[in-house]
Amino acid sequence: MKGAPPRLPLSVPAATALRTERVSAAPGHSSRMPEESSPRKTPQNVPYQDLPHIVNADGQYLFCRYWKPAAKPRGLVFVAHGAGEHCCRYDDLAQMLTGINLFVFAHDHVGHGQSEGDRMVVSDFHVFVRDSLQHIDLMKKDHPGLPVFLLGHSMGGAITILVACERPNDFSGLVLISPLVVANPEVATPIKVFAAKVLNLVLPNLSLGAIDPSVVSRNKKEVESYATDPLVHHGGMKVSFVIQLMNAIAKIERSLPKLTLPILVLHGSPDKLCDIKGSYLLMDTAQSQDKTLKVYDEAYHALHKELPEVTTSVLKEILTWMSQKVSAAEKAPHS
């Protein structure tokens, strides 16, 4: 993939995207559509009027992606991507889920991919959670009565955990691929944590280094794809962003006992980006009666982009689990 990304086909009618924009504008914002005067454009210079999008409570435009099944949807699945990447990297996973008639939807978080905002900068981690709930609420309004599932990878795992904790009774299941639950002990030593907090006060925009593509996957083709993807942020992670991740981790640790929904966790034991200890902590602490952890002994971080035998296993696990939960939700008496 070189140069500007191709314009993606709308998975929902353009009218839906425009209507979504109107209803999602924050209270107090002008109801006049900004496109009327000067079209708002993505960081890649594509007009948002040509793309599915929502407008968050801060007036920022977020690029959205929708994967609609051919038949009537049996459920909704919200996908939250990880730090520095974007939602189009979940196309294979989403297409698979449409095969069991699930309507999959996602957006690029603020400061990511084709959404507005300084790259990998967020004023507060809760913005990611708030925007996710906004998008979920819009989809629930359009598809009332359907079970809603959450799927998050890495930082997206942290987002979906906090989304589930904020609305404990709203979701039928949570799938986590290598979730961010605890800080990497090699990175978050007490001295480094203290230094980061001090730096955040004086040099919040200081870069602490970029994600090494070679630790994302053992699949060389996937590493190359990640390293050359123009929608992936290849620059360093700012001190202020790291602080927000640390804040999220602290909140997750306090919130895990609130989790009561069915959970499937998939994690590679040598993961260098999100420590597997976090998944063990989640399994020990979440109050869910239905919780499963599948460990892949040699796999790296992006299990859905790993060596074929791992990725095939991961996708099959997710598909089987989702199928069971959707069937259970359909049989459950409606309140």
Question: What pLDDT is recorded for position 333?
Answer: 67
Question: What pLDDT is recorded for position 182?
Answer: 93
Indicate the range of 18-27, 69-78, 285-294 predicted with least confidence: 18-27
User: Is the pLDDT score of 293 beyond 80?
Assistant: yes
Catalytic site includes residue 301: yes
Q: What is the pLDDT of residues 103-129, one digit of tens each?
A: 999 999 999 999 999 999 999 999 999
**Alpha-carbon distances, residue 64 vs 67, 173, 291 (angstroms):** 10, 22, 30
Question: What pLDDT is recorded for position 13?
Answer: 35
Question: What pLDDT is recorded for position 236?
Answer: 87
Q: Tokens representing 114?
A: 């084709």
Catalytic site includes residue 81: no
Catalytic residue among 53, 135, 301, 304: 301
End-to-end Cα spacing for the chain: 48
Q: What is the pLDDT of residues 165-213, one digit of tens each?
A: 999 999 999 999 999 999 865 555 555 666 666 666 666 677 777 889 9
Question: What pLDDT is recorded for position 207?
Answer: 72
Catalytic site includes residue 212: no
Q: Which helix (H) or strand (E) holds 104?
A: strand 102-107
Q: What is the pLDDT of residues 133-145, one digit of tens each?
A: 999 999 999 999 9
Per-residue pLDDT averaged across 69-94, rounded? Answer: 98
Catalytic residue among 271, 279, 288, 304: 271
Question: What pLDDT is recorded for position 210?
Answer: 83
Nearest of 332, 3, 6 to residue 169 by alpha carbon: 332
Q: What distance lies between CA 244 and its chain's CA centroid?
A: 16
Residue type (1 letter), 327:
S
Question: What pLDDT is recorded for position 10?
Answer: 40
Question: What pLDDT is recorded for position 4?
Answer: 42
Question: What pLDDT is recorded for position 193?
Answer: 61
What's the CATH number of domain 14-184+245-330, 3.40.50.1820, 3.30.360.10, 1.10.3720.10, 3.40.50.300?
3.40.50.1820
CB 96 within 8 A of CB 315: yes
Per-residue pLDDT averaged across 287-299, rounded? Answer: 97
254-275 burial: b if 16+ Cβ within 10 Å, else e: ebbebbbbbbbbbbbeebbbbb
Q: What is the pLDDT of residues 212-240, one digit of tens each?
A: 999 999 999 999 999 999 999 999 888 89
Catalytic residue among 154, 172, 178, 279: 154
User: How many other C-beta atoms can be found within 10 angstroms of the C-beta atom of residue 186?
Assistant: 9
Question: What pLDDT is recorded for position 38?
Answer: 84
C-alpha 184/C-alpha 206 separation (Å) is 20
Percent of the chain with pLDDT strictly greater than 70: 81
Q: What is the DSSP letter of 318?
A: H
C-alpha 159/C-alpha 165 separation (Å) is 10
CB 178 within 8 A of CB 273: yes
- Strand order of the β-sheet with 263-268 is 53-55, 61-67, 102-107, 75-80, 148-153, 173-177, 263-268, 291-296
Question: What pLDDT is recorded for position 208?
Answer: 72
Indicate the range of 14-28, 242-256, 261-275, 321-335 predicted with least confidence: 14-28
| pTM for this model (two decimals) | 0.86
